[in-house]
């Protein structure tokens, strides 16, 4: 029995898909900016020093970069919608861990998870670009 394929919402509308992608990565930008603005308050609440928070921020940015690379691979292997929803769930979990953290380690795990998820979202939120032309072959005459 063949499964019925439903049309994807906004299929073919690159502007809408780009807007979705920007909205998907915007929360990490807000969280990163807020963490930089309230670094002193976060350090005192967690009992951490500013160096450890700077390391956590660097690891979150590294997670973002790695997530962008990993996202390209995952969207080739799995359905793009499933990857997108899993990344959204990971981002929410990372933000919740950071918000309820009572220590530096849990705060760091939450920030790095949110960074990784946002990097994944950077790739999985965009619709795939497909080649519309056949590859061109060239022949060389000697």
pLDDT along the chain (142 residues), means of 10: 60 72 78 86 90 93 92 85 88 92 94 93 69 52 60
Look up residue 138 and give its DSSP letter. -
Separation in Å, CA 81 to CA 30, 75, 110: 24, 9, 23
pLDDT score, position 130: 47
Q: Which residue bears the tokens 């790095």?
A: 112
Separation in Å, CA 92 to CA 52, 96, 110, 135, 141: 23, 6, 9, 41, 59
* Other C-beta atoms lying within 10 Å of the C-beta of residue 40: 10
- Confirm if 16 and 116 have CB atoms less than 8 A apart: no
CB neighbour list of residue 133: distance below 8 Å, 6 or more residues apart: none
Residue ranges per domain, the chain? Answer: 26-124
Burial annotation 60-81 (CB, 10 A radius, 16+ → b, else e): bbebbeebbebbeebbeeeebe
Look up residue 137 and give its DSSP letter. -
* Other C-beta atoms lying within 10 Å of the C-beta of residue 15: 8
pLDDT score, position 115: 93
């Amino acid at each position: 029995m063949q499964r019925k394929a439903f049309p994807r919402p906004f299929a073919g509308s690159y502007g809408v898909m780009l807007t979705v992608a920007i909205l998907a990565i915007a929360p990490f930008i807000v969280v990163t900016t807020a963490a930089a603005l309230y670094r002193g308050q976060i350090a005192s609440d967690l009992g951490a020093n500013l160096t450890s928070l700077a390391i956590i921020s660097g690891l979150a940015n590294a997670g973002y970069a790695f997530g962008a690379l990993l996202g390209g691979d995952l969207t080739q292997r799995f359905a793009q919608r499933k990857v997108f929803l899993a990344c959204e769930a990971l981002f929410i979990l990372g933000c919740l861990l950071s918000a309820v953290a009572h220590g530096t380690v849990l705060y760091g795990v939450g920030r790095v998870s949110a960074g990784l998820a946002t990097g994944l979202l950077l790739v999985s939120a965009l619709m795939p670009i497909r080649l519309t032309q056949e590859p061109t072959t060239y022949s060389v005459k000697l």
